[in-house]
C-alpha cells in the first residue's frame, strides 16, 4: 500500500512558543499547502520570522507540534533534523551572502557542504541555478560588486541549489526598488511553479505579497487572525485584518508594545 503525501507540507498543531515569559505564538494551528506559495504577514513582532525558525528546527515549541511532511520536527534527533533541513532552502533577509566568496562559490557552498558531487557537476548545477535567476553572467563577481536586488537573486539561487521541496524567504522584498521588487516577486512564483516547490515567505509589502500568493496567513497577537486566499484576506471584515490590509493607523493593532503606564515607569503614579 502506497501512502499518499499529506495535503500540507508544513503544519502547526496547537503550538505555543515563547521567549522567556513573552508568548509569541499561543496555541496556534496553521498549515502550508503543498505546491503553493504561502505568504505569512502581520504586524511587527507577530511571530513571522519565529515561525520560519520553528519550521527549520532552530527553535523548539514549548507545547504542540510542528510537522514537516507529517513528521514532528521537535522529536527529531540531530541526524533526522539535518536530513529534513536538506529538503528545505532558506533565503535570509538581505541575502546574507558570504562576503569573501564569489557569486559562484556562494551558490556552490551548500553543494560542496552537503554532497559528494564532483566539481564539474557542481559547476553545471551552479550555472543552471544562476541562469534560473538571470545571473549566470555574474558568476565571477564578489558580493560587494552586485546590487541589493542582485544579491537577493544570488541568495535565491543558493537556496534552491539542493533542489529543496520547501523554500522559505524572510523579507525578500525589503529595501528593493520597485523594478527589483516586482522581478523578485515574479521570480518566487515562477520558480515555485516550474520546480514544483512549496514556498513560504514573510513580507510587509502587501501589494506584491497579495499579488503572487496562493495562500495567506495573517498573524497577530500570537494567533492566526485569518488564513485563506488573497481575496478572502482583502475582503475580510475582521477589524484587525481590515486595519492591517488597509494600513489604518487606528484599530485593534497598537503601535506601542505592551508596557506599564508612563506614570508608573517614571515614578509619577499618584502625583498631582
- Per residue, the 3-state secondary structure of 30-43, as one string, reads EEEECCCEEEEECC
Structure confidence by residue, pLDDT tens digits, 183-218: 888 888 888 888 888 999 888 888 888 888 999 999
Q: In the numeric block, which cell numbers belong to residue 74?
A: 521537535
Please tell me the total number of residues recorded for the chain in this structure.
272
Return the pLDDT at 150.
85
Return the pLDDT at 1.
43
Higher pLDDT, 251 or 231: 231
Query: Is 50 exceeded by the pLDDT of residue 108?
Result: yes
Instruction: Using pLDDT thresholds of 50, 70 and 90, give the confidence band for residue 5.
Output: low
Query: Is 80 exceeded by the pLDDT of residue 261?
Result: no
Query: Is 90 exceeded by the pLDDT of residue 93?
Result: no
Return the pLDDT at 104.
94
- Rounded mean pLDDT of 75-89? 88
H/E segment holding residue 65: strand 63-68
Return the pLDDT at 141.
92
| Cβ atoms 9, 198 nearer than 8 A | yes
Bridge-based pairing of strands 22-33 and 8-19 is antiparallel
Return the pLDDT at 161.
87
Instruction: Using pLDDT thresholds of 50, 70 and 90, give the confidence band for residue 2.
Output: very low
Burial (CB count within 10 angstroms: exposed 0-12, middle 13-18, buried 19+), residue 180: middle
Instruction: Report percent pLDDT > 90 for the chain.
Output: 29
Average pLDDT, the chain: 85
Domains of the chain as residue ranges with CATH: 29-265 (3.40.50.300)
Amino acid at each position: 500500500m502506497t501512502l499518499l503525501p499529506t495535503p500540507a507540507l508544513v503544519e502547526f498543531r496547537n503550538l505555543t512558543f515563547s521567549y522567556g515569559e513573552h508568548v509569541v505564538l499561543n496555541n496556534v494551528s496553521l498549515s502550508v499547502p503543498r505546491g503553493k506559495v504561502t505568504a505569512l504577514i502581520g504586524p511587527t513582532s507577530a511571530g513571522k520570522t519565529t515561525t520560519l525558525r520553528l519550521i527549520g528546527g532552530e527553535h523548539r515549541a514549548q507545547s504542540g507540534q510542528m510537522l514537516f511532511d507529517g513528521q514532528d520536527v521537535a522529536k527529531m534527533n540531530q541526524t533526522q533534523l539535518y536530513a529534513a533541513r536538506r529538503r528545505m532552502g532558506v533565503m535570509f533577509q538581505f541575502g546574507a551572502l558570504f562576503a569573501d566568496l564569489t557569486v559562484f562559490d556562494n551558490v556552490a557552498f551548500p553543494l560542496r557542504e552537503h554532497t559528494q558531487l564532483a566539481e564539474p557537476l557542481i559547476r553545471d548545477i551552479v550555472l543552471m541555478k544562476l541562469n534560473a535567476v538571470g545571473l549566470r553572467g555574474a558568476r565571477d563577481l564578489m558580493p560587494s560588486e552586485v546590487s541589493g536586488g542582485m544579491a537577493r537573486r544570488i541568495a535565491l539561487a543558493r537556496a534552491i541549489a539542493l533542489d529543496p521541496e520547501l523554500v522559505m524567504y524572510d523579507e525578500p522584498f525589503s529595501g528593493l526598488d520597485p523594478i527589483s521588487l516586482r522581478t523578485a516577486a515574479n521570480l518566487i512564483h515562477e520558480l515555485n511553479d516550474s520546480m514544483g516547490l512549496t514556498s513560504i515567505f514573510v513580507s510587509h509589502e502587501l501589494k506584491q505579497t497579495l499579488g503572487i500568493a496562493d495562500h495567506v496567513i495573517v498573524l497577530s497577537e500570537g494567533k492566526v487572525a485569518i488564513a485563506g486566499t488573497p481575496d478572502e484576506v482583502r475582503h475580510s471584515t475582521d477589524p484587525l485584518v481590515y486595519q492591517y490590509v488597509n494600513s489604518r493607523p487606528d484599530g485593534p493593532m497598537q503601535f506601542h508594545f505592551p508596557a506599564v503606564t508612563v506614570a508608573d515607569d517614571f515614578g509619577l503614579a499618584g502625583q498631582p
